[in-house]
Amino acid sequence: QEQLMESGGGSVQAGGSLRLSCTASGYSYTLSTMAWFRQAPGKEREGVAAINRYGFTTYAESVKGRFTISQVGNTLDLHMDNLALEDTAMYYCAADVAPTDSTSYIPLGLEGWRYNSWGQGTQVTVSS
Protein backbone atom coordinates (compact mmCIF):
# COMPACT_ATOMS: atom_id res chain seq x y z
CA GLN A 1 0.00 0.00 0.00
CA GLU A 2 1.39 3.35 -0.99
CA GLN A 3 1.52 5.83 1.84
CA LEU A 4 3.49 8.58 3.54
CA MET A 5 4.18 8.23 7.23
CA GLU A 6 5.64 10.98 9.41
CA SER A 7 7.49 10.60 12.68
CA GLY A 8 9.58 12.67 15.05
CA GLY A 9 7.21 15.35 16.24
CA GLY A 10 7.01 16.35 19.87
CA SER A 11 7.39 19.16 22.36
CA VAL A 12 10.46 21.33 22.70
CA GLN A 13 11.39 24.61 24.30
CA ALA A 14 12.02 27.67 22.21
CA GLY A 15 15.52 27.62 20.81
CA GLY A 16 15.61 23.84 20.73
CA SER A 17 15.78 21.40 17.84
CA LEU A 18 13.70 18.58 16.41
CA ARG A 19 14.01 16.27 13.45
CA LEU A 20 11.00 15.09 11.49
CA SER A 21 11.10 12.10 9.18
CA CYS A 22 8.75 10.87 6.51
CA THR A 23 8.89 7.48 4.84
CA ALA A 24 7.12 6.94 1.57
CA SER A 25 6.38 3.24 1.29
CA GLY A 26 4.96 1.15 -1.52
CA TYR A 27 6.71 2.97 -4.35
CA SER A 28 9.11 1.17 -6.68
CA TYR A 29 10.78 4.39 -7.81
CA THR A 30 12.27 7.48 -6.20
CA LEU A 31 9.65 10.17 -5.80
CA SER A 32 10.46 13.28 -7.78
CA THR A 33 9.47 15.92 -5.24
CA MET A 34 8.78 15.79 -1.54
CA ALA A 35 7.90 18.56 0.85
CA TRP A 36 6.88 19.58 4.33
CA PHE A 37 3.82 21.66 5.06
CA ARG A 38 2.41 22.85 8.35
CA GLN A 39 -0.86 24.12 9.69
CA ALA A 40 -1.30 25.95 12.97
CA PRO A 41 -4.72 26.21 14.66
CA GLY A 42 -6.81 28.86 12.97
CA LYS A 43 -4.32 29.37 10.17
CA GLU A 44 -4.04 28.22 6.60
CA ARG A 45 -1.69 25.45 5.61
CA GLU A 46 1.67 26.73 4.49
CA GLY A 47 4.58 25.18 2.66
CA VAL A 48 7.72 24.94 4.76
CA ALA A 49 10.35 23.29 2.56
CA ALA A 50 10.57 21.17 -0.56
CA ILE A 51 13.21 19.12 -2.31
CA ASN A 52 13.41 17.31 -5.63
CA ARG A 53 15.37 14.20 -6.37
CA TYR A 54 18.18 16.24 -7.92
CA GLY A 55 18.75 17.80 -4.51
CA PHE A 56 17.40 21.26 -5.25
CA THR A 57 15.60 22.80 -2.31
CA THR A 58 13.33 25.70 -1.52
CA TYR A 59 12.26 27.11 1.84
CA ALA A 60 9.66 29.44 3.23
CA GLU A 61 11.21 32.74 4.26
CA SER A 62 10.15 32.17 7.85
CA VAL A 63 12.32 29.05 8.21
CA LYS A 64 15.35 29.88 6.06
CA GLY A 65 18.56 29.38 7.98
CA ARG A 66 16.81 27.36 10.68
CA PHE A 67 15.31 24.36 8.87
CA THR A 68 17.08 21.92 6.57
CA ILE A 69 15.29 19.48 4.30
CA SER A 70 16.95 16.36 2.95
CA GLN A 71 15.90 13.29 1.01
CA VAL A 72 17.54 9.90 0.74
CA GLY A 73 15.61 7.61 -1.54
CA ASN A 74 12.03 7.94 -0.40
CA THR A 75 12.84 9.06 3.12
CA LEU A 76 12.43 12.73 3.80
CA ASP A 77 13.86 14.53 6.78
CA LEU A 78 13.40 18.01 8.20
CA HIS A 79 15.97 19.23 10.69
CA MET A 80 14.57 22.13 12.65
CA ASP A 81 16.90 24.30 14.71
CA ASN A 82 16.30 27.40 16.82
CA LEU A 83 12.61 26.61 17.02
CA ALA A 84 10.28 29.49 17.83
CA LEU A 85 6.78 29.61 19.31
CA GLU A 86 5.36 30.35 15.87
CA ASP A 87 6.70 27.04 14.58
CA THR A 88 4.04 25.23 16.61
CA ALA A 89 1.83 23.39 14.13
CA MET A 90 0.85 20.06 12.68
CA TYR A 91 3.51 19.16 10.14
CA TYR A 92 2.59 17.17 7.05
CA CYS A 93 4.75 15.31 4.59
CA ALA A 94 3.70 15.61 0.97
CA ALA A 95 4.93 14.19 -2.29
CA ASP A 96 4.35 14.26 -6.01
CA VAL A 97 4.08 10.53 -6.62
CA ALA A 98 3.68 10.64 -10.39
CA PRO A 99 6.49 8.68 -12.08
CA THR A 100 8.92 10.76 -14.10
CA ASP A 101 11.75 10.01 -16.50
CA SER A 102 15.18 9.96 -14.93
CA THR A 103 16.20 13.12 -16.77
CA SER A 104 12.94 15.04 -16.56
CA TYR A 105 12.86 18.65 -15.49
CA ILE A 106 11.30 18.69 -12.01
CA PRO A 107 9.82 22.01 -10.92
CA LEU A 108 9.96 22.87 -7.26
CA GLY A 109 7.52 24.86 -5.18
CA LEU A 110 5.64 25.20 -1.91
CA GLU A 111 2.15 25.33 -3.34
CA GLY A 112 -0.08 22.55 -2.12
CA TRP A 113 -1.48 21.79 -5.57
CA ARG A 114 1.91 20.45 -6.65
CA TYR A 115 1.55 17.44 -4.36
CA ASN A 116 -0.84 14.54 -4.72
CA SER A 117 -0.07 12.41 -1.70
CA TRP A 118 -0.11 13.48 1.93
CA GLY A 119 0.73 11.98 5.28
CA GLN A 120 -1.41 12.12 8.39
CA GLY A 121 0.75 14.69 10.12
CA THR A 122 2.89 14.93 13.23
CA GLN A 123 2.51 17.58 15.90
CA VAL A 124 5.30 19.99 16.80
CA THR A 125 4.78 22.12 19.90
CA VAL A 126 7.26 24.82 20.91
CA SER A 127 6.94 26.30 24.38
CA SER A 128 8.61 29.23 26.11
Residue 26 falls in which region: left (phi positive, over 0), alpha (psi -120 to 50) or beta: left
CB 108 within 8 A of CB 115: no
Determine whether 40 is exposed, middle or buried from the number of CB atoms within 10 Å of its CB (0-12, 13-18, 19+). Answer: middle
Interval 97-106 mean pLDDT: 83
For residue 99, name the pLDDT band (cuts at 50, 70, 90). Answer: confident
Q: Do 71 and 77 form a contact (C-beta atoms < 8 A)?
A: yes
Summarize pLDDT for 12-57 with one digit per residue, the tens. Answer: 999 999 999 999 999 988 899 999 999 999 999 999 999 998 999 9
Three-class SS string for the chain? Answer: CCEEEEECCEEEECCCCEEEEEEEECCCCCCCEEEEEEECCCCCCEEEEEEECCCCEEECCCCCCCEEEEEECCEEEEEECCCCHHHCEEEEEEEECCCCCCCCCCCCCCCHHHCCEECCCEEEEEEC
Question: What pLDDT is recorded for position 106?
Answer: 86
Structure confidence at residue 110 (pLDDT): 97
